[in-house]
Amino acid sequence: MQMESDLRGAWERGELSLDYQPIYQLADGHIVGAEALLRWKHPEHGMIPPSVFIDVAEQSGLIDLLGRAVIARACEDAARWVGADDDEEAPFIAVNVSARQLRSGDLPEVVAAALADSGLPPGRLHVELTETTILGDEIQAGALLARLRGTGVRVWLDDFGTGFSGLSHLRRVPVDGVKIDRSFVTDVLRDPDDLALTSAIIAMAHSLGITVVAEGVESEGQHDILRERGCDLAQGFWLARPMSAEAMRQLCRAGL
Ligand code: G
Ligand code: G
Ligand code: MN
Ligand code: NA
């Protein structure tokens, strides 16, 4: 497959990079973290979205090497977001991890190595997993996540609310937070059902001691209603677009 052979070595050739999208605390508007988003600038075909090439990387097994490189780079970049590397209060970095990366079993070791090499405090690394990633094998996933959290890293459930059994996962799978899927946020002002579901997710998460992030916030109205409903954190184009590591560093330096 052409894309697979093009993807092989793409990281080493410098075609892949990480953008960072700030995540804000709704109560005070401060930046508390950022999500790392992988970008591929193909020499002939231009930008190829991760929704296209992550699947190829998964199926070919390239995701193992690529995933390691992403985690290492994200930790290195985040370690530079403040003067003192050991500042636990500095913005966290959230890295997306796919099913195969989790199933390969050595994620806790990969994470520990990236933290040791970068000097980033474990609490400043968050791992984002989707419900489908843990679906089907909650016992094994639960054990892995427990090991991962044992290193001090935080675990988030991404795209939360889109699966059928999102709520029941929270009983068996230890997580620190959930990211309410963009599809709920999009219609939160227009569709009373989406507002009701969003509010229910927030209430339920809080009763379990879990943090809630809303993703895909594209307007002031969405932002305001989420804050009013007690959502903890938010991310979206209205707040900030994904940006380069250097732009993110400067935003942090500027005092948020
Ligand atoms: O940035 P964009 O909206 O195109 O991202 C699309 C999808 O790609 C998202 O679901 C996101 O979680 C995923 N993604 C982005 N970066 C990475 C990455 O570094 N690793 C993995 N496994 N998925 C990623
Ligand atoms: O599935 P995941 O949450 O990892 O995907 C994150 C993706 O969502 C990124 O590709 C990012 O570019 C995209 N994104 C972030 N904020 C917004 C937004 O406000 N609107 C839309 N449409 N996409 C967004
Ligand atoms: Mn994500
Ligand atoms: Na998501």
- Say if residue 89's pLDDT is above 80: no
- Asked if residue 168 belongs to a domain, the reply is no
Asked if residue 98 belongs to a domain, the reply is yes
How close is the Cα of 158 to the center of ligand 3, in Å? 5
Is the pLDDT reported for residue 101 higher than 70?
A: yes
Angle between helices 107-118 and 63-79 (to 10 degrees): 30
Whole-angstrom distance, CA of residue 211 vs CA of residue 233? 8
Residue with CA nearest ligand 1 atom 9: 51
Taking each continuous run of H as one helix and of E as one strand, the counts in the chain are 12, 9
Angle at 182 between CA 69 and CA 230, to 5 degrees: 105
Q: Cβ contacts of residue 138 below 8 Å, gap of 6+?
A: 169, 172, 173
pLDDT at residue 135, rounded to an integer? 73
Q: Is the CB of 22 under 6 A from ligand 2?
A: no
What pLDDT is attached to residue 165? Answer: 59
Q: Cα(238) to centroid of ligand 2, in Å?
A: 11
Cα–Cα distance measured from residue 179 to residue 106, given in angstroms and rounded to the nearest whole number:
25
pLDDT for 83: 55
Average pLDDT over residues 34-49: 96
Residue 52: what residue type?
Answer: V
78 touches 248 (CB < 8 A): no
For residue 85, the model assigns a pLDDT of: 47
What domain count does the chain have? 1
173 lies in some domain: no
Structure tokens at 56: 């190829």
Q: Which pLDDT band holds residue 88 (cuts at 50, 70, 90)?
A: low
Query: Which atom number of ligand 1 is nearest to the Cα of residue 158?
Result: 12
Position 201 in a domain: yes
ipTM for this model: 0.96
Q: Inform me whether the pLDDT recorded for 254 exceeds 70.
A: yes
> Does ligand 2 have an atom closer than 6 angstroms to the CB of 37?
yes
Domain-located, residue 47: yes
For residue 114, the domain's CATH number is: 3.20.20.450
Q: Is 215 in the pocket of ligand 2 (CB under 6 A)?
A: yes
Contact call for residues 71 and 77 (beta carbons, < 8 A): no
Q: Which ligand is nearest to the CA of 94?
A: 3
**Quick check: 136 pLDDT over 80?**
no
Distances 5 to 54, 61, 93, 122, 215 between C-alpha atoms, Å: 14, 12, 30, 34, 33
Structural domain includes residue 140: yes
19 C-alpha to ligand 1 centroid (Å): 10
Residues with CB under 6 A from ligand 1: 36-38, 49-51, 54, 70, 96-98
Structure tokens at 85: 């590397």
Residue 169 domain flag: no
169's enclosing H/E stretch is helix 166-172
Angle subtended by helix axes 50-60 and 63-79, to nearest 10: 130
What mean pLDDT comes out for the span 207-213? Answer: 94
Residue nearest to atom 24 of ligand 2 (CA): 216
Q: Does some domain include residue 58?
A: yes
The pTM (predicted TM-score) of the whole model is: 0.95
Atom 22 of ligand 2, residue of closest alpha carbon: 216
> For residue 42, what are the domain limits?
2-162+178-253
Report pLDDT digits (tens) over 103-123.
888 999 999 999 999 999 999
d(CA 142, CA 161): 19
- Whether 19 is in the pocket of ligand 2, judged by its Cβ within 6 Å, is no
Which pLDDT belongs to residue 140?
81
Q: How many CB atoms lie within 10 A of CB 22?
A: 24
131 lines ligand 2 (CB under 6 A): no
